[in-house]
A and B are shown apart, each in its own frame.
Chain A
Amino acid sequence: MIGIIEALIEIAIKIISEVLAKIAGIAAERALSTTPQETTTATRQGAQTYAATCGDDGLDLKRQRLFFSVTFGNYFASLLESSNTYLEMRGQIHCPAAGKSNPLEWIYGTLNDAQGFRIIAIAAGGGMGKTTLAAKIVRCLYQQNAVDLILGDSAKRVEIDPATGKPRPLQPGFKDLDSFYQRLAAQTGLTDYPSKTRWRTVIPDLRARLAGQRALIVLDNLDTVAQGSELLGSLQELTNRDVRILLTTRDANISDRRAVVVNLNPIARGNIPLARSFITWHITRYQSQNLRLADLMDSLDDKKLIDQLLAKTGGVPLMIQVVVSKIATEKWGYLNQLPDLLPKELLDFLYKERWDELSARGEAGQLAQDLLWYLATIQYEGRKITSEALREEARLRGKETSFSDAMRMLGENFLLIDREPQSQYGNLAIFPSLREFVVNARRA
């Protein structure tokens, strides 16, 4: 009898707490029902913002690394730890809502403003720097203690396994909205849901759990998620004065009055000073891997060459970087050999050209291909790849004597990202587009 009474009381408590939470939610929503558009100007003037350089330094995640790597996967987590990965270029970030303000500073401001936009969508094609910009924003807000919680997921976790071409079951990310919200809830400490719990049940719990906390939910590559638009729609239920969403996508088709789409523009033809500053940044950042890059500094005054480079690459930052690295060995005449292609096709062309070139360069070239394959595979697993690990790989293949030449070829022909340039053996990675190419090339 007592057991039945207690069970009934439990049910009553559940109903009362649900009703209270519902009333609380409605009241809070009404109090903050002013749309961001109506208050944009006031918001920008009153909100706490940070300089555009904020977030340039890598985060020292220390013991929070477990949380971040579980949340975002090692790829995004390591981007958070890297310094100076994104160069702010005047005019690249296209955000009409920012008016005359610096767009990056405006983004920081609106994310910090109780009445600011609730969803920031960074939309652009491949190679434009969406993820690196998102990582910079996260770094800044984290460093400034502007957010209490960073949650989210990187859809990169559901990429195709490079080795088999099949979805990899080891890092499932999320397979549907139910599993996505259970993952998100687990990141806030809410666990033990029955496996059949629907996402609509979890959302009110999450809202309540996040109440009183400033949280940023990051979703990288929304366009690669099968139920992307449904996911975005559901996430809107979570946003409020303190909870914001930052997402990256190739598809800018987002219509919500509380969302702002930030486009990333390529470097425009004729914008020589901007292109020059970007190339200079690239040379400074990568010259330790490709010594010949430094030789290009003197030729950056030649406006015609820079303009030709912009024409060939479409002004896409990643494309410029790839081509400039090649120019360092082939000289500027290389531009004339490049076909006029759309950015995606051009990138594939560039990668194929270099891959074929390695095929023709004997044992060292073959080893360079092997090492790229190794990087493509291991990086997918999120493991740290040092130069010593690559040397070991060369030794296992019985090609240790060609290692230095192979590394030089890689540095000259491909962009190797060193996430820890200050450490003795570095932590190397390649861009996702190159990884895809290498996997396909090997399969072919």
Chain B
Amino acid sequence: MASLVNWDELEKLSQQDLREVPEADIQKILNALRVLREQQAWQDVLKLQEMFSSMMLTQKLTLGHLRTLRDALEENAIEATRALGLKDVEARYLHDRGQFLHQVGSHDKAIQAFDRSSQLYSELGESFRALESYYMTALCYRALNQGAKAEEVLNHVLSEVKDNPWRAHPLEVLAWIELDKGNLPEVEQLLRESLQLHRASNAQNKDIMIAQVQADLGEVLGLMRRYDEGTKSFQESIELLARYPDQYDRLRARTIIKSAEMLSDMGRNAEALRMLRDVEKLISQYGAYSDLLWRIELDLARIYWRMRDTYTAALKLRVAFGIRRRLGLSNWQLIQQQVTRLSAGRKFTKKHER
């Protein structure tokens, strides 16, 4: 039987850097996918997804036609696994899809993907994987400013992994929630515990996890005006990420954004401004990361305000609010969160000055 699509051509495309592939070729992949789907050639849909998945994952492509391709490949692959009754693969694909949706700010859709993934893993008896997917919903709830719901998920997850070093992950997210409440000493304690667990673990991505926690620790130390310690944390985070050039740029961007926030608090606004501009360039090469972008715009508003450029500050605030509104996130809750953090920082400093 003749093949429905030109696999040789697709194979060649899969070996190329998709960032350099013209739109017309991306369209060929999409056309092939459409044909396979119409014919319900589900195995072939999965073959196509596997062919391009590593490229899509490593490069974190979210721009224009590449975003379209990624969405189409992933959504069709999930449908294919369902049609074929491949629960384990469906669960894995849903987990990966959830992570991507969370990264690009579609937290509601991400929750649906993680919930379904967790449910499938449970049915297969893979309790730890089920827990991992369930844990990921906490990140989404927190991003949606549903701190109580996130906390509930995390407490459940932590109760399930009492002796597992993996608990460093939920501990870190719990710290973020405490940060939203303004409980700075608790945040520091949770992050240090998480850091200790990561340092003791043998996980492959240990460096990356330490880099992430150090960035959070740097942030909270900055709020407590312990700038020297904060600088050290940011420094370690940057140094660890520097070991992986061309990878983890989103994480690198996150560290730099937090570090710029601290610099601005220290009055080094020009430096902070420059860093935020560099971060924008860093993330723009992959496409649109709305969740990082609104934060950058919010920080820019703060910096311009401090630099007494109220006009630009107002414009930047407008952009940050607009992005969040389009993502379905509450701006009122953002304001509450920011006020809580600032007042917590001030209270802490006053208390320790006395």
Q: Which A residues lie at the B interface, using CB under 8 A?
A: 6, 9-10, 13-14, 17-18, 20-21, 23-25, 27-28, 63-67, 69-70, 73-74, 148, 170-171, 186, 189-193, 204-205, 207-209, 211-213, 381-384
Contacts and interface: CB of A to CB of B under 8 A. Distances in A.
B327 A192 contact: yes
Nearest to A201: B322
B270 to A, nearest CB: 12
Contacts of A148: 277, 280-281
Highest count of chain A CB atoms <10 Å: which of B283, B289, B311, B330: B311
Contact of B22 (A10, A13, A63, A382): A382
A9 B321 CA distance: 13
A213 B277 contact: yes
Nearest to A17: B318
A28 B290 CA distance: 27
Contacts, number: 129
Nearest to B249: A63
B23 interface: yes
A222 B284 CA distance: 26
Contact of A14 (B24, B25, B304, B321): B321
B22 A74 contact: yes
Interface string B301-316: 0001000011110111
Contacts of A24: 310-312, 314-315
A186 B315 contact: no
Contact of B314 (A17, A189, A384): A17
6 contacts: A24-B311, A66-B66, A170-B27, A189-B283, A190-B288, A204-B318
Contact of A28 (B22, B300, B311): B311
Contact of B312 (A189, A193, A212): A212
Contact of A205 (B22, B285, B322): B322
Contact of B321 (A13, A74, A189): A13
Q: Closest 3 A-B residue pairs measured CB to CB?
A: A382-B22, A66-B19, A24-B311
Contacts of B285: 63-64, 66-67
A212 B316 contact: yes
Nearest to A212: B312
A28 B316 CA distance: 14
B23 A171 contact: yes
A25 to B, nearest CB: 8
B330 A186 contact: no
Contacts of B293: 189-190
A189 B290 contact: yes
B93 to A, nearest CB: 23
A67 B323 CA distance: 20
Interface in B234-253: 246
B65 A70 contact: yes
Contacts of A384: 20
B63 interface: yes
A193 B315 CA distance: 18
B326 interface: yes
Given A6-B332, A10-B330, A17 B321 contact: yes
A382 B289 contact: no
B19 A63 contact: yes
Nearest to A197: B326
B317 A211 contact: no
A381 B65 CA distance: 14
B332 A13 contact: yes
B325 interface: yes
Contacts of B304: 212
A96 B65 CA distance: 42
Given A189-B288, A190-B319, 4 more contacts: A13-B331, A25-B315, A66-B63, A67-B63
B314 A67 contact: no
Contacts of A193: 326
A368 B43 CA distance: 43
A23 B325 contact: no
Given A13-B335, A189-B289, A211 B63 contact: no
B85 interface: no
Contact of B23 (A20, A67, A208, A382): A382
A274 B326 CA distance: 56
B317 A20 contact: yes
B72 to A, nearest CB: 15
Contacts of A13: 321, 331-332, 335
Nearest to A194: B326
A67 B285 CA distance: 6
Nearest to A27: B311
Contacts of A381: 22, 24-25
A10 B332 contact: yes
Nearest to B64: A70
Nearest to A28: B311
B331 A10 contact: yes
A211 B23 contact: no
A362 B287 CA distance: 50
Contact of B323 (A6, A9, A63, A190): A190
A14 B323 CA distance: 12
A67 B65 CA distance: 11
B338 to A, nearest CB: 13
A20 B332 CA distance: 17
Contact of B24 (A9, A70, A186, A383): A383
Contacts of A211: 311-312, 315-316
Contacts of B61: 66
